[in-house]
Amino acid sequence: MANRQDRRRDKRLQNQEFREQMKTAMAHLDNDRVREAELAFKEAAAMQPGEAEPHHMLAMMTYRAGRLEEAGNHIVEAAMRDDDDVAIHADCGAIMNMLGRPAEAEAACRHVIDQDPDHVEAYNNLSVALSMQGKRDEALEICEAALARRPDYTDALVNKANLLVKMDDTIAAIEAFAAAIQVAPENPLARVNLGIALRMVGELDAAEEQCRLSIELRPDYPEAHAGLGMVLAAKEDFAAAIKAFREALKLRPGFAAAQLNLAAAHFKAGDFEASEAVYCEIIEQHPAAAPAQTGLGVVMLASGRLDAATQAFRDAVDLDPREGEAWMNLSSALGSDMPDADIAQMTDFADNMLLSTDQRVAIRFALGEVCDRRGEFEAAFVHYRAGNDARKAELDKLGKIFDPAAIVGDTEAVQSIFNPSFIERFAGIGDLTERPVFIIGMPRSGTTLVEQILASHPDVNGAGEIGCISATVPNFPDSITDLDVSQVSAMARNAAENLFVGAGEAARVIDKAPFQFQHLGLIRILFPNARIIHCVRDPLDIGLSCYFQNFVADYPWSADLGHIGVYLQAYSRLMDHWRTLFEDAILDVRYETLVENQEAESRRLINHLGLPWHDECLNFHETRRTVLTASNWSVRKPIHTRSIARAASYGGHMAALRKALE
């Protein structure tokens, strides 16, 4: 009897000491003596190993201090000691999500909901956990359940919008973000995410406004600065974008998304050395960063280091087989030599809905190229069609829908505006320099090949796709109907500044922006003495090659062979119009003739530029210069005839294109 009483007395004393220790720890915490509070809670946990409360408090403290791993360990210890405390298990679900352990988060949240069916935070965290596991339909359903219980729950509204973005329903996501802002107008997360969604649909001014409002609300919010950088990069204001990304990294060193976007902004700004340095820094800090390997490969490819680029792309897919852009580049590099194991791996991922649409589309195009190079044309077309169907569906969701009637109308408007009297009105007003060279034509017609040949000449600078004319007239053709002499002079100055920057003393400077075939009348007004080279190719081959190209830019016409045919017809009619006005000024270069008679056609090109011949033009593939177009693999190799009459191998699939062309 005495021993039992002693044990009870000791237990009461232990409980009393534990409670006193917990009071001491809480007092330290209330007085912001964080270090003392943490030590006191740890002592309390040692006093009563079976108690959950000190572990729960330690989890919350380490979480607030940003020590997530420690927070995760403590919250698991707390949950194991108390199966009935709803708050502990709710916090466990939230912390497990932050640690990237969604299965454990799901279990914790479901446990909370079993005990409290109206616990909205648990519903929202369960939705996040399901989304992280790729169960997006179920995640959206659970998110709606949270909002049914609390319609003004901002976290759930933002979560719903983010889910809709992942589900490629950007328009619905924008509406959800707007609903969140209506409930909580001072929520910086909702605003920056709305800005990101608006950027995806091309509403760049509205996107920038939301990101800047987010920064006003919380200047130290790194995501807001990173989001602003993405919008500014989309506006091609790369200097401002770089500044925004650097601010995000200043606020949060090691912010992976901001680092990747900073490297990409340097690349697009033409600072390839800085871009490569940032990618290498990311890889050094995070050796498993597959997107950084892909980005590094792109930089190396642009500068002609093919072997190093191929290795970087290989490293990327070895780290993460979902890296679609890396697979596309490997397929271009290896072609029919692509190992069967790689093909099997890509095939496994081609329809995996856990991948983003962009990733799945890129993998489809990679498989299409490998099969095409192997001569497996039916299989190739299946992959290309699947990739284009997915692209088209995505563009449709973003409201980027090809309108054949609009293309015809725009073409007729240009023909109507640019008549002989309109051209004559501005005679003698433009810049008379002979330096500009404009290479125009449809994409995939040989424009990059022609530029590479010309840029191999020591007196020629290939500036790439500057678009110096199209950049001066953003609302073409409506913006030019009321042009006056002073405006033309200003436009010529601006276009010259854009084209000649960085060109040094080159006698000729090339702007290879194919779509400036639409602006040929304006080119002749602004630069009457400019050389114009029009690349021509068999329309069926152009159409098929466009269909087989996963364009970086949003070209809604390029995802459907019939639409490509309509676009080709409009282009052809416009070029016929320009020939009636400027036939003597346009040099047509046929792709088929160029690859079959390289030297003769190359000499004709150089002669058109008014320059002496140089043999370097025949070894264009050895020229070390930056190439940023889809043809950057092919122009690094000697000329070949494989792409002539390419459409003949796909005869059974060309009916829609043929019909549109007829």
Residue 398: which of 268, 286, 555 has the closest Cα? 555
Residue 507: which of 614, 376, 408, 611 has the closest Cα? 611
| pLDDT for 155 beyond 80 | yes
Inter-residue contact 113 to 123 (CB < 8 Å):
yes
- Kindly indicate the confidence band of residue 12, based on its pLDDT and cuts at 50, 70 and 90: low
CATH number 3.40.50.300 is the correct assignment for the domain at 404-661: yes
Edge-to-edge strands, sheet with 460-462: 460-462, 508-511, 436-441, 531-536, 586-590
- Kindly indicate the confidence band of residue 29, based on its pLDDT and cuts at 50, 70 and 90: confident
Q: Tens digit of pLDDT for each residue in 549-602?
A: 998 778 999 999 999 999 999 999 999 999 999 988 999 999 999 999 999 999
- State the pairing for strand pair 460-462/531-536: unpaired
Return the pLDDT at 376.
95
Written as six digits, the tokens of 23 are 């009071």
What residues form DSSP beta bridges with 508?
Answer: 460
Return the pLDDT at 633.
52
Question: Average pLDDT, stretch 429-453?
Answer: 92
> Where are the alpha helices (H) located in 235-349, listed in sequence order?
238-251, 256-268, 272-285, 290-302, 306-319, 324-334, 340-349
Written as six digits, the tokens of 634 are 């092919």
Instruction: Say which residue the tokens 């017609």 belong to.
Output: 445
- Kindly indicate the confidence band of residue 64, based on its pLDDT and cuts at 50, 70 and 90: confident
Inter-residue contact 635 to 449 (CB < 8 Å):
yes
Measured CA to CA, the distance from residue 27 to residue 398 in angstroms comes to: 55
Measured CA to CA, the distance from residue 366 to residue 330 in angstroms comes to: 8
Amino acid (one-letter) located at 516: Q
**Can you tell me whether residue 587 is helix, strand or coil?**
strand
Measured CA to CA, the distance from residue 340 to residue 361 in angstroms comes to: 20
Q: What percent of the chain has pLDDT over 70?
A: 95
Inter-residue contact 386 to 347 (CB < 8 Å):
no
Question: Average pLDDT, stretch 356-379?
Answer: 94
Lowest-confidence region among 1-10, 335-344, 514-523: 1-10
Return the pLDDT at 629.
52
Angle formed at CA 605 by CA 647 and CA 495, multiple of 5 degrees: 95
Lowest-confidence region among 244-253, 434-443, 614-623: 614-623
Return the pLDDT at 2.
47
Q: Looking at residue 476, what DSSP letter applies? A: T
CB atoms closer than 10 angstroms to residue 5: 9
CB atoms closer than 10 angstroms to residue 292: 27
| pLDDT for 7 beyond 50 | no
Measured CA to CA, the distance from residue 40 to residue 183 in angstroms comes to: 41
- Kindly indicate the confidence band of residue 217, based on its pLDDT and cuts at 50, 70 and 90: very high
Measured CA to CA, the distance from residue 47 to residue 43 in angstroms comes to: 6
- Among 5-19, 324-338, 622-636, the range with the most confident prediction by mean pLDDT is 324-338
Return the pLDDT at 412.
94
Instruction: Say which residue the tokens 């901002």 belong to.
Output: 154
Helices (H) and strands (E) in the chain, counts: 32, 5
Q: What pTM was estimated for this model as a whole? A: 0.80
